[in-house]
Amino acid sequence: MSKILRALSSLLKKKDSTNIEFETSKQYWEDRYKVGGNSGAGSYNRLAKFKAEIINSFVTEKNIETVVEFGCGDGNQLKFFRLKSYTAYDVSNTIIEKCRETFKNDTSTSFFHVSEYQGQTFDLSLSLDVIYHLIEDETFFQYMNNLFNASSNYVIVYSSNTTENEETAVHVKHRKFTDWVEQNKPDFKLIKHVPNKFPFDKRNPKTTSFADFYIFKKEESK
């Protein structure tokens, strides 16, 4: 695709399929949730069940007590998890209030705006379908630092891991995030890569995904 065609394509994609104007990552998701939008196909149906299978199995195997998720979204994915203690942060005040209401009778869960994160640590830190929605570099750097700083042991990322960005939606920017981890968090080592059970198929975009699982473990200090 030529530079001119790319520029024209960009101009035509100022809105996503839900007709939400895009200015910044934070604004986009707040506006999307305000008008009743959800977290996307990845948090529903067979993709949500696949993610839960991997995470629930890992939590049981490693006897994980405390879990934090950065970018919890509408909470539908959480309904499939089996966790002892779950803390969530998100950029959208609208969705935090919705999740608090949805899970008000579940004392094992708590929800906060990301600005309230104070450096607490947890056994496991989760990032699910978030990294490729972080358009601005500064937003990406801050998110990644929070994600890894919050872990005392493990980090699980479910995301794409590529620099290929042709024909992406206005609110999507793929990144080879493992390069960032190697350069900025060398004490975390990738211990497992789990390919998606339902790899992306453009004929079925709502039931397939370009995200895989990447599991990191923090090395003990020498």
pLDDT (tens digit per residue) in 144-155: 999 999 999 999
- pTM, two decimals, is 0.89
- H/E segment holding residue 215: strand 212-218
Helix boundaries (H) for the chain? 3-12, 25-34, 45-61, 93-102, 137-149, 177-184
The residue with greater pLDDT, 23 or 220, is 23
What's the CATH number where 150 sits?
3.40.50.150
pLDDT at residue 18 in the model: 59
Percent of the chain at pLDDT > 90 equals: 72
pLDDT at residue 120 in the model: 97
pLDDT at 7 over 70: no
pLDDT at residue 40 in the model: 79
Domain count, the chain: 1
pLDDT at 91 over 60: yes
Residue range 74-91: mean pLDDT, rounded = 97
Residue range 115-130: mean pLDDT, rounded = 97
* pLDDT tens per residue across span 166-221: 766 788 899 999 999 999 999 999 999 999 999 988 899 889 999 999 999 999 75
Query: In the sheet where 212-218 sits, what is the strand order?
Result: 109-113, 86-90, 67-70, 122-128, 151-159, 212-218, 188-194
Amino acid at 123: D
pLDDT at 124 over 70: yes
Q: How far apart are CA 43 and CA 193, in angstroms?
A: 20
Which structural domain range is residue 28 located in? Answer: 3-218
